[in-house]
Structure 1
Amino acid sequence: MAQPSRARRFSSAGLMIAVLLALLGFTLVVQLKTTSTDPTLAATREEDLVRISSDLDSRERRLRQDIEALEESQRQLRSGEQGRQAALEEATRRADELGILAGTLPAVGPGLEVRFSGPAKAVSSTRILDAVQELRGAGAEAMQIQGADGSAARIIASTYFVDGADGALVVDGRRLTGPFTIMVIGDPATMRTALNIPGGVVASVRDGGGNVTSEDREVVEVSQLHAPIKLDHARPVS
């Protein structure tokens, strides 16, 4: 909440400096014009004219120095504000990326819907893990897997897969029943090619009597979230 107010303060300061610059410039012009057209100067002694000229020169130098100082302050304020804004945007982007990788934020984008069906030996935890690894290697950015009843689990770096009873699949402690569907965000063509390499995931599932189908999606929603890991000893530092 502090950022908007700080931005307003910098904006107000910049506006004030601009007004001061305009006033100083106007004062300088008016002063020089008034002096040059003052009729009393014609009757002024030479030494007084020299002193007046010297005073005007000094005042002009001070005004120009003030203008230069204000312009420099304005540049610094603008540069500082833009730098802070750029840093904030970069930090926000990085936080979003890390949140997606950690599974604590939802994600949306183009990708694939990959469906695994068949007997338990064909769609075992080992083959599902192989598919996840192939997708990661092909640039998958976010994934989730769901069972026939709609139960889903987010897939992150620490996710584990275990064979359950009656052909079920246990993902991070959550029991899913087949057929299984992986929703994955990434380049569809690259990921589909990775799954279909000779002797790869699709071939091994089919060898076991199962089937793998993949469908390109312009919009894939990975909405299942992974609970943040509770740390016992580590804590963030500033």
Structure 2
Amino acid sequence: MQELRAAGAEAIQVDDVRIVANSYLSDVRAGLWPPRLTRAQLIVAVLLFILGLGLAIQVRSTSDSSALRGARQEDLVRILDELDNRSQRLTDEQRRLEGQKTELENSSDQAEEARKQTVEKEQQLGVLAGTVAAQGPGINLTINDPTHSVEADKLLDTIQELRAAGAEAIQVDDVRIVANSYLSDVRGGVEIDGKRVTQPYRFKVIGKPQDLEPALNIPGGVVQTLEKEQATVGVTGEQKIIVDALREAKRPDYARSSSQ
């Protein structure tokens, strides 16, 4: 093609390829284009890049140092003051963040303590309301009344005496005694809150045994009154009494909490 061009050829086509000014030819069997880099060439290229980068950094550092060496004294003082101010601001920010962290930790501790107190208070109220089971030291009280002479008022006196002696939870047979419990006489027994209980009446009482037992045995007290009705009374102190009869929580119809 070079010879044809030298002889004045104005247009050349080889097969279906038009030859132009920047046309090039290559031997396919000799290799692929573009040529592949050898491993040695790649290593040399990387080293040259690292060397160039190092030189650029060194030049920049030298320029910065030269600029500072050439700065006036008042400029250097100003730069130093700015650095001191920036350091002080960072220190103040660190202290502020540490203070916030301490406040959050204290707030978290207070919230956890409040939560624990709330749970404990709910448990205490649940015991009083009869909505949760309770256990603790107390007494077992059994009243045998084979003649059916013990009426509701005598059992109510027994409950009141136990409460006055510090009873915290009371159960008669399978009925939990609460603040609004009521007793009534029915044929062959007694009803407590509409549930029939029959003799022998079994009381499970949680409280201090050393206070509950003497309260029942005082002269003219519960035990003597029941014995006059030809009933027999048995009292035993226990280190673990389980009161597991439960009451359904009821929402009052009229009473509401007051902020006063």
TM-score w.r.t. structure 2 length? 0.68
> Where does 1:214-229 land on structure 2 (aligned, <5 Å)?
214-229=235-250
CA drift of 1:190 comes to 0.7
Task: Tell me, in whole angstroms, the C-alpha distance in 2 between the residues paired with 1:113 and 1:40.
Answer: 97
> Where does 1:9-28 land on structure 2 (aligned, <5 Å)?
none
**Number of the residue aligned with 1:76:** 103
Task: Tell me, in whole angstroms, the C-alpha distance in 1 between the residues paired with 2:115 and 2:190.
Answer: 42
**Number of the residue aligned with 1:171:** 192
Runs of 4+ in structure 1 deviating by more than 3 angstroms, as ranges, are: 39-45, 230-237
**Number of the residue aligned with 1:162:** 184
Would the alpha carbon gap of residues 40 and 186 (structure 1) be closer, same or farther in structure 2, given more than 3 Å must change? farther
Conserved in 1, the CA contact under 8 Å of 2:183 and 2:193? yes
CA drift of 1:53 comes to 2.1
Would the alpha carbon gap of residues 176 and 88 (structure 1) be closer, same or farther in structure 2, given more than 3 Å must change? same
Alignment of 1:127 onto 2:127 = no
> Where does 1:146-225 land on structure 2 (aligned, <5 Å)?
146=173, 152-166=174-188, 168-225=189-246
Higher relative contact order (CA 8 A, sep 6+): 1
Q: Deviations for 1:144-169, whole angstroms, at most 9, x for unmatched residues?
A: 101xxxxx111011111112212x11
Q: Which amino acid aligns with 2:183?
A: F
TM-score w.r.t. structure 1 length? 0.74
**Number of the residue aligned with 1:17:** none
**Gap runs ≥5 in structure 2:** 1-64
CA drift of 1:47 comes to 2.1
Q: Deviations for 1:156-210, whole angstroms, at most 9, x for unmatched residues?
A: 11111112212x1111111111000110111111111111111110111112211
3-state secondary structure, aligned to 1:105: coil
**Number of the residue aligned with 2:167:** 140
Identical amino acids, percent of aligned pairs = 35
Q: Which amino acid aligns with 1:62?
A: R
**Gap runs ≥5 in structure 1:** 1-38, 147-151
Task: Tell me, in whole angstroms, the C-alpha distance in 1 between the residues paired with 2:163 and 2:244.
Answer: 18
Would the alpha carbon gap of residues 40 and 195 (structure 1) be closer, same or farther in structure 2, given more than 3 Å must change? farther
CA drift of 1:229 comes to 2.6
Larger of the two Rg values belongs to structure: 2
CA drift of 1:40 comes to 8.2
Task: Tell me, in whole angstroms, the C-alpha distance in 1 between the residues paired with 2:111 and 2:79.
Answer: 47
